[in-house]
Amino acid sequence: CAGCVRHRPCTQMLTAGIDYDGGWAEYVIAREDTLIPIPDSLPFDQAAIIPDAVSTPYAAVVATAGVRAAQSVGVWGVGGVGAHNVRLARLVGAAPIIAVDPLPSARERALAFGADFALDPAAPDFADQVRAATGGRGLDFAFDCAGVPAVRDQAASVLGLGGSLILVGITPRPLTITEGLTFNYLQKQVRGHYGGFPESVSELVQLTAAGRLDLAPSITDHIPLVEAADAVHRLENKIGDPIRLILVP
């Protein structure tokens, strides 16, 4: 399709496990041009979480946003995708990195993963904390990894001049920005993002195999495939605060 030719989102995309069965099958038929070899230095379980959990925020950081060294970044929602968003922002040199999550355990994880600050979005002085952390400038980029309308509104409000809100999290609810004149005056932007790009997975395989990115801390548990329903329940309800669970056939 026209999107694929231009290396843009496919207009006829079909996803295994969503549009057709087989997302968690032990064996699956795939086209040769959709496969990437895994080097011996990269553990299989770490390679397994690269598509989506790591490739989505990677593409958001390096392509959709185009974050450069010393630019300020905020990440809302430090779950499976958001935690990697923090790590990848640090990998490209973003500073400062501000993680935002209502869960204390998620904020602690964000700091361990490279965030400079971890803030509670419900704090009465939240906006003041962001301004102080950015030297009064506001954020260059705010990544919504939660897919929550209230998050998007809060994130947009603390963007600085020319700042961009990157919509990584998915929600069917409409996007609403309540900010008025300052949104226009400061030339803020909102950019949609979806998934990773064709080169994202191959680049991440190289980075991980070369030791630039250790994904071992992102694997919370290994679970038998027959217990997949329980694994989904754990993720949905954040039982044990998991990042990613590996299903083992």
Q: pLDDT digits over 16-73, tens only?
A: 777 888 888 888 888 888 889 999 999 999 999 999 899 999 999 999 999 999 999 9
The helix, strand and coil proportions of the chain, stated in percent and rounded to the nearest 5, come to 40, 15, 45
d(CA 213, CA 41): 12
CB-based burial of residue 126 (10 Å sphere; 0-12 exposed, 13-18 middle, 19+ buried)?
middle
Q: From 185, 115, 179, 181, select the one nearest 143 (Cα to Cα).
A: 115
Give domain status of residue 212, yes or no.
no
Do the beta carbons of residue 129 and residue 150 sit within 8 Å?
no
**With 90 as the cut, is the pLDDT of residue 91 above it?**
yes
d(CA 233, CA 249): 18
Give domain status of residue 7, yes or no.
no
Q: Residue 13: its pLDDT value, please?
A: 81
Q: Residue 33: its pLDDT value, please?
A: 83
Q: Per-residue DSSP letters for 22-50?
A: -TT-SS----GGG--PPPTTS-HHHHHTI
Q: For residue 148, give the CATH number of its domain.
A: 3.40.50.720
Give domain status of residue 180, yes or no.
yes
pLDDT band at residue 96 using 50, 70 and 90 as cut-offs: very high
Give domain status of residue 23, yes or no.
no
**With 90 as the cut, is the pLDDT of residue 10 above it?**
no
Higher pLDDT, 184 or 21: 184
Give domain status of residue 4, yes or no.
no
Q: Residue 14: its pLDDT value, please?
A: 82
Give domain status of residue 160, yes or no.
yes
For 195-227, the pLDDT digits (tens) are 988 799 999 999 999 999 999 999 999 999 999
Q: Residue 101: its pLDDT value, please?
A: 97
User: Which residue segment(s) compose the domain that 165 sits in?
Assistant: 51-192
Give domain status of residue 156, yes or no.
yes
Which H/E stretch holds residue 75? strand 73-76
Do the beta carbons of residue 86 and residue 113 sit within 8 Å?
yes
Q: Residue 143: its pLDDT value, please?
A: 99
**What is the number of domains present in the chain?**
1
Give domain status of residue 216, yes or no.
no
Q: What is the pLDDT averaged over residues 229-239?
A: 92
**With 90 as the cut, is the pLDDT of residue 234 above it?**
yes
The CA radius of gyration of the chain, in Å to the nearest whole number, is: 18
Q: What is the pLDDT averaged over residues 119-127?
A: 98
CB-based burial of residue 177 (10 Å sphere; 0-12 exposed, 13-18 middle, 19+ buried)?
middle
Q: Residue 137: its pLDDT value, please?
A: 97
Strand-pair category, 117-119 with 139-144 = unpaired
> Which of the 8 DSSP states describes residue 243?
S
The chain-wide mean pLDDT, for the chain, equals 93
d(CA 18, CA 190): 27
**With 90 as the cut, is the pLDDT of residue 78 above it?**
yes
Higher pLDDT, 12 or 204: 204
Question: Long-range CB contacts (< 8 A, 24+ apart) of 84-87?
Answer: 84/53, 84/54, 84/57, 84/58, 84/218, 85/57, 85/60, 85/61, 85/143, 85/145, 85/168, 86/110, 86/113, 86/114, 86/115, 87/113, 87/114, 87/213
Which H/E stretch holds residue 248? strand 244-248
Q: What is the pLDDT averaged over residues 2-27?
A: 80
Which residue has tokens 């790009």? 197
Which residue has tokens 């195999």? 209
Tokens (6 digits) for 222:
């290994």
Share of the chain above pLDDT 70, in %: 100
